[in-house]
Amino acid sequence: MHHFKYRDGELFAEDIPVAELAARYGTPLYVYSAATLRRHFNAFDSAFSALPHLTCYSVKANSNLCVLGLLAECGAGMDIVSGGELHRALAAGVDPEKIVYSGVGKRPMEIEQALAAGILMFNVESTGELKRISDIATRMGRTARVSLRINPDVDPKTHPYISTGMRNNKFGLDMDNSLLAYEQAMRLPGIEPVGIDCHIGSQLTSIDPFLEALDKIVAFGERLTALGVPLRYLDLGGGLGITYNEEEPPHPTQFGEALTAALKDHPMTLLLEPGRVIVGNAGILVTEVVYTKTTPSKEFVIVDAAMNDLVRPALYDAFHAIGEVKKHGRPDKNVDVVGPICESSDFLARGREMPGVEAGELLAVFSAGAYGFVMSSNYNSRPRAAEVLVDGEVAVLARKRESYEDLIALERECVE
Ligand code: LLP
């Protein structure tokens, strides 16, 4: 459930007409709903209330400071994957003891920064990384709490680009090597193995792959405990899907119930790293129709948002619902909604049945809160969109629209 609803044919973000936001802040514009963010976080987090747990929101899904700050206020921890995300999380006031650090390529400086900040733990993805963390922690006179990320070789049945827990993915350690890695972790100075971690993929629409992974991880955890590894945390990663189109993912409550049943006899604290399920449907991308164009074979709706603003359709052939900001009641047409970028992959929708629209009208691209703005770029020298957070009747400019000056600010002219 989200708070982007039509009232008499006009789209509202909570209590503000979306057209008013577009007039105030321009387009393309990302609009987030604070009530939806709170609702999604609380629904997810409370689904695990019967277990000792910590919900670490996955910063990569939407890292705007206002979003992070709001979630931190709700009690969220954070899952980070870079020094930049650590910087954002700390700037947003997140308690470092609620931060977990995942990712296959943590650089020495990033490890140092995370140790200095006193994060809860590193999710370690290779023995090289384990050794490096040990060296750095020892040099700094610190102890790094670590979990090893296990690759449970489970098929999450999602898009191949966002599957991460299968044998040939780059993520984590396979079970056999993990055993040796835990033995190593027990011996290395500056390292305290405290947990076990996995993340099998994103946009999962069934609970079964999670349970399959959990089974393997729990069984493996029992072997580790028998070997004397003092496991306190079990991190199951993120990945719960949302409805973009006709998907019917489990509700967080069902997800919580299934995991609670599977883990009720295990004393470990459960960590979860949800991203999309918290922010995905809490954001829309508002765009203006620049032209409509009819060719012998197609009808195009050319809008001012492009693949640089929302790359998911181009990259994953992802579906995002698109609706008029003010319904005009024209008959449906079959159209491609495309941006101004010079590539045929620059589309937001292809072969979509939607009411006819005219230049100057506004469209809303739904479910754009996760992996939307964060994956945007300046391709074709397009300044990045503004982001607005709406809370009831109040809108806050959460990120200014980039200017042409911003586009060249870090460059220099190389000719006299
Ligand atoms: N934890 C780890 C270690 C991850 O790699 C991810 C996502 C998450 C948590 C959060 O997963 P979520 O709950 O959001 O599914 N750009 C793609 C999604 C990439 C996901 C990468 N990892 C998209 O637009 O669909």
* E strand intervals along 128-268: 144-149, 191-197, 233-235
Please name the residue whose Cα sits nearest to atom 24 of ligand 1: 371
Please give the number of the atom of ligand 1 that sits closest to the Cα of 103: 3
Q: Is the pLDDT of residue 141 over 90?
A: yes
Pocket probe for ligand 1: among 202, 244, 319, 365, the residue whose CB has the most ligand atoms within 8 Å is 202
> pLDDT tens digits, residue range 179-215?
999 999 999 999 999 999 999 999 999 999 999 999 9
Cα 9 from Cα 40, distance rounded (Å): 26
Once rounded to an integer, what is the mean pLDDT over residues 125-129? 95
Residue 368: partners with Cβ closer than 8 Å, 6 or more residues away: 30, 283, 284, 285, 310, 320
pLDDT of residue 72: 98
> pLDDT tens digits, residue range 297-308?
999 999 999 999
Band of pLDDT at residue 153, cut at 50, 70 and 90 = confident
Provide residues with CB under 6 Å of ligand 1. Answer: 58, 61, 79, 102, 162, 164, 199, 202-203, 237-240, 273-277, 312, 316, 370-371
pLDDT of residue 176: 82
pTM for the model stands at: 0.97
Catalytic pick among 66, 74, 198, 342: 342
pLDDT of residue 267: 85
Instruction: Compute the mean pLDDT over every residue in the chain, rounded to the nearest whole number.
Output: 96
By the 8 A CB rule, do 199 and 272 touch?
Answer: no
Cα 151 from Cα 166, distance rounded (Å): 7
Q: What angle do CA 11, 15, 17 make, to 5 degrees?
A: 40
Numbers of helices and strands, H then E, in the chain: 12, 20
> pLDDT tens digits, residue range 371-403?
999 999 999 999 999 999 999 999 999 999 999
Q: Is the pLDDT of residue 165 over 70?
A: no
Once rounded to an integer, what is the mean pLDDT over residues 37-57? 98
Pocket probe for ligand 1: among 40, 59, 60, 173, the residue whose CB has the most ligand atoms within 8 Å is 60
All domains in the chain, ordered by first residue? 4-31+280-408 (2.40.37.10), 34-276 (3.20.20.10)
Q: Is 414 a catalytic residue?
A: no
Of 251, 260, 198, 283, the closest CA to residue 44 belongs to 251
> pLDDT tens digits, residue range 335-369?
999 999 999 999 999 999 999 999 999 999 999 99
Of 383, 399, 298, the closest CA to residue 340 belongs to 383
* E strand intervals along 34-136: 53-58, 77-80, 99-101, 121-124
Q: Is the pLDDT of residue 266 over 90?
A: no
